[in-house]
Structure 1
Amino acid sequence: MKKKQIEDMKTVLTSQKQINLSRKKLKQIPLSDQCKEIILGSLLGDGSLQIPKNDKNARFFIRHSQVEEEYFEWKASALEEISSDASIKYSEKSGYSENQKLLFQSGALGELTEIHSITHNGGHGLIIRRRWLNHLTPLSLAIWWLDDGSIISRGRKGVLCTDGFDEDSVKLLANYLEVVWNVYTHVGPIKRDRKDGNCSKKLYYRLWFGTEELKKFLRIILPYVPVKSMLRKAMLLYKDAELQQRWISEMKLLNPNFSEEIDLILQSKQKLRE
């Protein structure tokens, strides 16, 4: 890889605005930084913080499909400090999926209640606010993408499925990515059928990435992709062999632990396109 490419990548990886968070309430909560980073990223994706009816404190929940078992197991292991003896559960297939669901439920902890009070607004659920978005790290962004991000348009554009948030919240997320991480996304609507009794189409808003902005975003998160099976979510596809090899080289540089797996994922993706 050319020296200029490496320097450009380093610039992207250090592009987050420096914000002093040391005195913020969220920073003072006595959980490890990694634990909080995973929780915050998951709140934008497949995780939730809830205070069950019979509990005084909040619990953290994650649900993944069985096809993401390696990723789920990594999360569960990384969240050991908030887990209990019965944290991992399995459920039968539900909704549109034919796969079994893997469930994580933390213990009911005061520390999680504190995070809940910062990220939620009473009975109104999760509230998208800069006061806690500012605590997201590259690992948090990686979790968000691995949970709800997809590469589309024949392998060179991307989308974050933010269907659980209203238009204003999605616009705030877009602004956050642009201001803090220098990644521009387009907020666009999509109509989807949901199993809500009558299968009526509803309007949702998502974050859409052009090719260059997606590459910038993936360069930020690639060093933090924790398991080989999820590298598929960072595999851009090109018809031009030279452009393809450039991206493969970048992936290997940013996540050298999985060099061999990156080659195998590319081969698998290319076979699917044939």
Structure 2
Amino acid sequence: MQKAILVGTLLGDGFLQKTGVRNARLRLEHGHAQKEYLLWKATHFPKLFQGKATYLERVHPISKKIYKYWRQQSSTTPELGRWRTLFYPDGKKHIPETLSEILTDPLSLAVWYMDDGYFDARSKNSYFYLGRVTEHEAEIAKAAIKKNFGISGTVYDKKKKGYTLFFPVQATVALRDCIHSFVLPLFDYKFAE
């Protein structure tokens, strides 16, 4: 279960911070309204997350809007360092070539969706926001989801916003059927009917 949550988190909002030659720590950050989700993640790693979550505010430099969020950082370990080597080979986050070998558990897909998924209630389509990955990496993600879960998506280039994986209505139904039992009630809106 820990590996599944970690894989979904690393594909989503998680960040692995290098803390030495071989070690790293996992940083979790979620919006103020998602504190429950952050704590849910941390409780599945009791040896890593021993401290308390910290409430933070940050002012956007252009809009001046105040962002309120929660952060929790793990202890430093060599195992997280190995995961960092896989996801951050050059210091920037990437989707690994071997994704189809590690994205095999529906729980991983659910965590990734809770982090970066979006449901358009009007069109009944869903998306995974991939951010600033390459088109090749987006295709790796698409292929891994198709291979391991039988769900077909399409890669879209959102230009300044990066790539997304788009799932039309039928694929969204398949995605919901695959992961809904893992999605926390806090995120029910991501599959609203």
> What TM-score, normalized by structure 1, do the two folds share?
0.63
- Secondary structure of the equivalent of 1:125? coil
Residues 100/203 of structure 1: CA separation in 2 closer, same or farther (3 Å cut)? closer
Deviation string 1:167-216 (CA, Å, 9 cap, x unpaired) is: 1111111111112211111111214xxxxxxxxxx262211110000110
Residues 230/207 of structure 1: CA separation in 2 closer, same or farther (3 Å cut)? same
Structure 1, gaps ≥5 residues long = 1-33, 192-201, 238-274
1:92 matches 2:57:
yes
Deviation string 1:209-241 (CA, Å, 9 cap, x unpaired) is: 10000110111111111x321122122x2xxxx
1:152 matches 2:120:
yes
- Matched with 1:230 is 187
- Secondary structure of the equivalent of 1:165? coil
1:51 matches 2:9:
no
1:210 matches 2:177:
no
Is residue 59–residue 112 contact of structure 1 (8 Å, CA) maintained in 2? yes
- Matched with 1:29 is none
Q: CA deviation at 1:99?
A: 4.3
AA partner of residue 189 (structure 2): R
Deviation string 1:20-64 (CA, Å, 9 cap, x unpaired) is: xxxxxxxxxxxxxx2221111111111011213x67510011110
Larger Rg: 1
State the identity %: 25
Aligned length: 189
Greater relative CO (CA pairs within 8 A, separation 6+): 2
For residues 127 and 148 of structure 1, the distance between their equivalents in structure 2, rounded to whole angstroms, comes to 15
AA partner of residue 40 (structure 2): W
1:80 matches 2:39:
no
- Matched with 1:113 is 81
Q: Greater strand share, 1 or 2?
A: 2
Q: CA deviation at 1:164?
A: 2.7
AA partner of residue 66 (structure 1): H
AA partner of residue 9 (structure 2): S
For residues 106 and 118 of structure 2, the distance between their equivalents in structure 1, rounded to whole angstroms, comes to 17
Residues 155/66 of structure 1: CA separation in 2 closer, same or farther (3 Å cut)? farther
- Secondary structure of the equivalent of 1:134? helix
> What TM-score, normalized by structure 2, do the two folds share?
0.88
For residues 169 and 66 of structure 2, the distance between their equivalents in structure 1, rounded to whole angstroms, comes to 32
